[in-house]
Structure 1
Amino acid sequence: MITLKSERFGEIQIEEKEIIHFPLGIPGVPFDRFIIRDLIEPVKWLIAIDDTDIAMLIISPFKYFPEYSFELNDEIVTVLNAKSEEELEIYVSLLKHEDGVAANLKSPFVINKNKKIGVQILLEDDRYSFKELIKK
């Protein structure tokens, strides 16, 4: 058991098997080890374990954007070491929007939930934006 101390989250107890490694990193973040913690369904926290002040709100995009889809290139599939789509979880970060809350559909997080390997990718798909308003 590992104990993390944070002003925002207090004391967090984690197990080594919960740690998600991002071998390619996350742009703008100097750490590559994270955990996911529930906030209020469907919102979760993606928290850097090496500096718990670095945390992002994330959601699975499919509840609000049911048509959301993209293909992973061979390099990302290799990094994730996934044998099937069922091993993968997709999340997008949440941002403030002048009309409420937005999702960054352009840069999803893809996580192999079995092997605890994650990547953040940049989609070249013009259907998606960095700030897509979530409609209630």
Structure 2
Amino acid sequence: MIIQTSMWGELDTPESNIYHFPKGIPGFEEEHQFALIHEENNPFVYMQSLKQKHLTFVVVDPFVFYPDYEFELPDSDAEELRINDALSVKCMITVREKIEESSINLLAPLVFNPQERLGKQVVLQGVPYRTNHRLWNDSVDENGREGV
């Protein structure tokens, strides 16, 4: 599928990389279709809106930076995403001018069903995570919480 992007111009993206977000994502409820654009040897993935070529999010597998990250996906979200066994998790990155100040949103992961190509940003409840954990941090405890 040919998509329009502001970073790469026209881009030929496999259908398997296109995900439907039935309710959009918080703050962008009108955006329902996103392509995941992977670059070789790069842990970061671009989540490109198919509707707005200037709307791109940087996302990453949170387990690369926080190996002990864990949460329980509510049954209602699993049902909405029609998840039986396969799922993928990504978290949004806030990129800062000083790259070492960039952060990852562990409170609201993006959950993907690769079989159905459905996605949803899930806002977790009752967890120790925040929207702005440092991406690179040497003082993180076993639950992904930053030390003092």
Give the structure-1-normalised TM-score. 0.89
Q: Which structure: greater strand fraction?
A: 1
Number of equivalences: 133
Structure 1: runs of 5 or more not aligned:
none
CA displacement at 1:124 relative to structure 2: 1.6
Q: What is the alpha-carbon distance in structure 1 between the residues aligned to residue 95 and residue 50 of structure 2? A: 24
Match for residue 3 of structure 1?
Answer: 2
Percent of aligned positions that are identical: 24
1:109 matches 2:110: yes
Amino acid at match of 1:14: T
Given the superposition, is the C-alpha separation of residues 22 and 56 from structure 1 closer, same or farther in structure 2, using an over 3 Å criterion? same
Deviations 1:58-104 (A, max 9, x none): 000001101111111121011111111xx100000001357521100
Q: What is the alpha-carbon distance in structure 2 between the residues aligned to residue 135 and residue 7 of structure 1? A: 28
1:83-122 equivalences in 2 (<5 Å): 83-84=84-85, 87-96=86-95, 99-122=100-123
Contact 2:4 2:50 in 1 (8 A): no
1:72 matches 2:79: no
Match for residue 20 of structure 1?
Answer: 19
Q: What is the alpha-carbon distance in structure 2 between the residues aligned to residue 45 and residue 125 of structure 1? A: 29
CA displacement at 1:7 relative to structure 2: 2.7
Q: What is the alpha-carbon distance in structure 1 between the residues aligned to residue 60 and residue 17 of structure 2? A: 18
CA displacement at 1:48 relative to structure 2: 0.7
Amino acid at match of 1:78: E
Structure 2: runs of 5 or more not aligned:
138-148
Q: What is the alpha-carbon distance in structure 2 between the residues aligned to residue 3 and residue 135 of structure 1? A: 35
Aligned Cα root-mean-square deviation (Å): 1.7
Amino acid at match of 1:101: S
Question: Secondary structure of the residue that 1:135 maps to in structure 2?
Answer: coil
CA displacement at 1:20 relative to structure 2: 0.3
Match for residue 37 of structure 1?
Answer: 37
Amino acid at match of 2:2: T
